[in-house]
Amino acid sequence: MPVPNDIILFNNHFTGHRRDYPYCTRLEIAADIGYNGYEFHPIEPDDDATWGEATEAYRASGLTSAGMYVLSKGVTDEEFPQIDAEIDRCKRMIDHLAEIDPKAFVNFTIMSNPGGASTPDYREAGSGKAEARHWERSSKIMSEIDAHIATLGLSGNLYNHIWFMCDTSATQLRLIKESGAKTIRPGIAAFHAFFHQGEPDFLEIIDQPGMENLGYLALLSGWAKPDDPFRTRPLDDGNIDLAAALGLVWQRGYTGPIITQAYDLGGDAYLTAKRSFDYIHEVHDRYQRNPALNPYHK
């Protein structure tokens, strides 16, 4: 039985780390390895040259799924005067994405940090420091973006990012409820969920009412280290038991996209991307061969 999910390669395999691959190479690597699709990092709405390059590369690659990480500001008091401009910016980016792929997914998050500072204890920032006005502003952003995604016929999910307003699974579920979102679903970035001290264990995350609508799963591992919260590692290395996480979501019937990331990993971008792809298939094959190897097998 094949893996029941589209496997998507994220843009951060190819940028940073003293390098910046052209889009044609990024997308060709994804296709050559066997990925189903590609998730783009935000491209500003007026950057026609980059949108053109990304669109041409996607269509030439033969990949069948596109997504984009879209993030909005506008929640803190300093940013609030620009909230309408931020919403418009996000909508215009989503319009461009729909032109690339009419069935694309929008990986959405609210970037503003009401806590105002980065800290090793992530409960001291983001939603943990939000007050009523921050939740109201976030609900406004969510409501408008959700309606726009629905109008275009796209799918959407939230992304839990350490330090952001949208930083935990509980925050996602609250934002979806309070905004009345009908299209945007919860998502899990395993890396951010694991290292956020306010998140429970993965099983408890999945067992929360509303998480049965999970629409997105991003995989990245890492090690904790002295003086810094973490450093990233390949999927088969690091502190995070991604095999168990995959076993759980597959046992629960998850068929949405699985995204592989490599933020700040460096090295040979082709080989790190292939290592992630092969790892997901190896775990799936392992559970198919012997279901009892899955700790969540019933």
* pTM of the full structure: 0.96
Asked whether residue 298 is assigned to any structural domain, the reply reads no
Which distant-in-sequence residues (6+ apart) come within 8 Å of 282 by Cβ? none
* Number of other residues whose CB lies within 10 A of the CB of residue 62: 10
Strand partners, 228: 225
pLDDT beneath 70: ranges in the chain:
225-229
Residue 221's domain spans which residues?
Answer: 7-293
Q: How many whole angstroms separate alpha carbon 72 and alpha carbon 81?
A: 13
Helix (H) or strand (E) holding 207: helix 202-207
Asked whether residue 156 is assigned to any structural domain, the reply reads yes
Q: How many whole angstroms separate alpha carbon 131 and alpha carbon 288?
A: 47
Q: Where are the beta strands (DSSP E) in 244-297?
A: 258-260
Asked whether residue 111 is assigned to any structural domain, the reply reads yes
Q: pLDDT digits over 217-267, tens only?
A: 999 999 876 556 678 899 999 999 999 999 999 999 999 999 999 998 889
Token digits of residue 67: 């997504």
Closest CA to 94 of 86, 104, 82: 104
Report the domain count for the chain: 1
Q: How many whole angstroms separate alpha carbon 275 and alpha carbon 47?
A: 32
Asked whether residue 242 is assigned to any structural domain, the reply reads yes
Asked whether residue 212 is assigned to any structural domain, the reply reads yes
Q: What is the pLDDT of residue 227?
A: 55
Q: What is the pLDDT of residue 78?
A: 96
Tally the residues of the chain: 298
Distance set, CA 165 to CA 93, 156, 158, 268, 272 (Å): 20, 18, 11, 33, 30
CATH number of the domain residue 173 falls in: 3.20.20.150
Q: How many whole angstroms separate alpha carbon 1 and alpha carbon 70?
A: 33
Q: What is the pLDDT of residue 111?
A: 95
